[in-house]
């Protein structure tokens, strides 16, 4: 079974306040699970969100020879 994070745990992973993951949930920008009145975020969903926002570094010089 996948690990489910609280909003506070998700905020710690993202390095933000709890307000940011709450906004992501409210805007339906990430998948979440309701456990009764509680909201939980699957750990893999958070990893995917981070990966989608990752910007690769710019290569200023070509690599390799030729």
Digit-by-digit pLDDT tens for the chain (66 residues) are 899 999 999 999 999 999 999 999 999 999 999 999 999 999 999 999 999 999 988 888 777 665
Q: Which two tokens stand for residue 66?
A: 């030729």
> Is position 66 within any domain?
no
Asked if 40 and 4 touch (Cβ cutoff 8 Å), the reply is yes
Tokens of 18: 């709890």
Q: How many domains does the chain have?
A: 1
In a domain, 41, yes or no: yes
Q: How far apart are CA 60 and CA 12, in angstroms?
A: 34
Question: Is 45 within 8 Å of 32 (Cβ atoms)?
Answer: yes
Which pLDDT score, from 0 to 100, does residue 65 have? 62
What is the reported pLDDT for 41?
A: 98
Residue 27 forms part of a structural domain: yes
Domain assignment of residue 29, yes or no: yes
pTM, 2 dp: 0.80
In a domain, 37, yes or no: yes
């Amino acid at each position: 079974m996948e690990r489910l994070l609280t909003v506070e745990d998700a905020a710690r992973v993202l390095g933000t306040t709890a307000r940011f993951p709450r906004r992501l949930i409210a805007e339906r920008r990430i998948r979440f699970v309701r456990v009764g009145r509680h909201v939980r975020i699957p750990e893999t969903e958070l990893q995917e969100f981070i990966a989608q926002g990752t910007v690769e570094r710019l290569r200023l010089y070509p690599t390799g020879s030729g």
